[in-house]
Amino acid sequence: MMKKLPQQDDETGEIPPVVVPVKLRELCFDGTELDRLDFLAEEVPVALVYNGISHAVMMASPADLEDFARGFSLSEGIVEQAAEIRDVEILAHEKGIELKIDLAPESFWRLKERRRTIAGRTGCGLCGLDSLEAVARDLPKVGGGMKIGLAAIEKALSALPPAQVYNAQAHALHAAAYADAQGDLLLVREDVGRHNALDKLAGAIAVARIDPASGFCLITSRCSVEMVQKAVIAGFPMLVSVSAPTRMAAKVAEEAGITLLALARADSALCLTHPHRIAL
């Protein structure tokens, strides 16, 4: 359960809004100038602290932070299941936000095994890895998964832009969403970092006790290898990206058994791996 924010000794002690209004001057190419009110996405340092040990600092949007703590812990292999996290406390400081994560004793050794120091840029998925071997992660094989019809994929893609409430204001946030086999969106998470958005989605699914194999995942960002790795660890049998994948992302998707669709549009999508889950 998320705890309420206590009173802080610093200047703020409050979580900032995800988007903030700002006054801007629009410079038109015909030489005219207009004063206007617009919105910018907030981006704050978020420190993940496990049992008192600072593990990572990521630049992220200040929303759905408990989901982020759980999803990051799962995707980074610090915990194997969400139940190993006993509590998440969110503390707002003047310089950023601290997520104090209480791990069960039996899972604390994973933190010592995988501990690293990350100064994470926005959504930087591989920052802090100390060897080439660490990039090539041992991933579980994705099995099962329902057959998903093209109409369901089209339905979910059409529903995603209106569901991006923060991006509609600031135009600077990525989204990761989960849809059921009928194409209905069940969960949507947004963040300035594409990896953060997917971590938040994985955390939300774990808390909601939704079987990830009963639907599919959609992302609005480019599909790099880290996004495929996180999707596989989260248990999604299918990943649909509106942008193009990298060659390594497609290779990892093929090896892990996940169905990868890319350049998904209202009228088409490219299927790169494991098309057996697509019901034509």
- The catalytic site residues sit at 124
How is the beta sheet containing 53-60 ordered, strand by strand? 85-93, 96-103, 44-50, 53-60, 118-120
For residue 205, give both structure tokens: 């699914």
* Amino acid making up residue 132: L
